[in-house]
Structure 1
């Protein structure tokens, strides 16, 4: 594995682990752990958590630490923290902070939403750029949570406005079948979800009657990265 592919994989974790929604009741606070691998080799571990922040706001956080191969050698780590509010069954974005650090490189991205002005500001260290916010939009980190709650509510197709670097991009996802999935957390009759409007090699398997997060994620863009659920605990 090259340093470039390692960093691309870590940077892509937000796409895999992001989304959320809720109908009658929003998901309770939780902590989940995942094994992360690339090309069949162990790369690290991820911890994902959700907790209330007060004033109707929530914090969704993901911490990834490189524990194997080149990721361990480089002491690679990624932290993503999102603040949001539930808007119906969607985790509407308020802010997002991304930090990646290795022994040879650091990267940071910050996103903030000014809802009174309906403006998104994104800064990657070279000065902020702005664009118009869209009601009900999520961002890369909360995307998986939004998908999980939508599936729990019985949706088979989901279109989500996602705040990315330079715009709000509508991304489309669809349940493409059911598959038996075995991961460290157990065996699941899972719903497979694929993105249908982009050829990015993204698939996620959910057991929405049990968890708001996927039990398995697979992303081929950037180097065959797989994440598998190890444990889930409601806090």
Structure 2
């Protein structure tokens, strides 16, 4: 069961990304509601599989809702980010996290107060609060910006993310191009790697397909030499 939990957490760390912007209540070029379905496989001492669905929906008052739902056997994870588009980047308003493993649940709610430059979190009776500056992202909204900046041709990426009562730096860089075979088909993709500390055993690779509006077609995370998690795009719909 610990393997299932790690596999599901993969979707929260670095999975598929969206485009992003709202102007006068209309989608900006490159941003449109969609539903992307993925299959997940975990290679380790035992083999497990599951599914992930990621969805972008347009809401009222120039707001957007991005959701990720992952499930495998007796475990599930749900994440959501409600945001607006401000100064050419996502501005998170609320982030929610729900995890259930064998009936045990964990919930977290993060609220962004941009008027007072504060973010607060209510999680398992251990709330935290901290100051933030413009540009800070939640744990999945940064993914929207990453996808957009890959499409714009950037090579290096650095994001400040409100995570566990701290501001953490998430760093990525373009690592080349590669032809990817996935259930949805074969596409040339831009490979992006997450930059980690030299002593880290973890490696994360993300492949963005230009022909699919830079949606993620594949993600692979290596925990140890004998443990790897792979996510492949199965279906993409408006």
Please give the range of the TM-score, normalised by the shorter of the 2 chains: 0.7 to 0.9
Question: Relative to structure 1, is the Cα distance of residues 232 and 20 closer, same or farther in structure 2, using a 3 angstrom cutoff?
Answer: closer
Question: What stretches of structure 1 of length at least 5 have no aligned partner?
Answer: 67-71
TM-score for the superposition, normalised by structure 1: 0.87
RMSD: 2.0
CA distance in 1, matches of 2:186, 2:143: 20
- 1:204 alignment partner in structure 2: 206
For residues 1-235 of structure 1, the aligned pairs below 5 Å read: 3-17=1-15, 19-22=17-20, 25-39=29-43, 41-66=47-72, 72=73, 74=74, 76-198=75-197, 199=200, 200-221=202-223, 223-234=227-238
Tell me the secondary structure at the aligned position of residue 140 of structure 2: coil
Conserved 8 A contact 1:85-1:93: yes
Conserved 8 A contact 1:151-1:208: no
CA distance in 2, matches of 1:205, 1:6: 23
- 2:25 alignment partner in structure 1: none
Question: Relative to structure 1, is the Cα distance of residues 20 and 164 closer, same or farther in structure 2, using a 3 angstrom cutoff?
Answer: farther
TM-score for the superposition, normalised by structure 2: 0.86
Question: Relative to structure 1, is the Cα distance of residues 83 and 31 closer, same or farther in structure 2, using a 3 angstrom cutoff?
Answer: same
* Aligned-residue offset at 1:21: 4.9
CA distance in 2, matches of 1:195, 1:32: 22
* Aligned-residue offset at 1:175: 0.4
Conserved 8 A contact 1:20-1:150: no
1:77-124 CA distance string (max 9 Å, x none): 111111011124422211111111122421112211111111111222
CA distance in 2, matches of 1:205, 1:153: 15
1:32-65 CA distance string (max 9 Å, x none): 1000110073421111100111111100001112
* Aligned-residue offset at 1:153: 1.3
Tell me the secondary structure at the aligned position of residue 140 of structure 1: coil
Higher strand share: 2
* Aligned-residue offset at 1:189: 0.9
Question: What stretches of structure 2 of length at least 5 have no aligned partner?
Answer: 22-27
Question: Relative to structure 1, is the Cα distance of residues 189 and 26 closer, same or farther in structure 2, using a 3 angstrom cutoff?
Answer: closer
Question: Relative to structure 1, is the Cα distance of residues 197 and 134 closer, same or farther in structure 2, using a 3 angstrom cutoff?
Answer: farther
- 2:24 alignment partner in structure 1: none
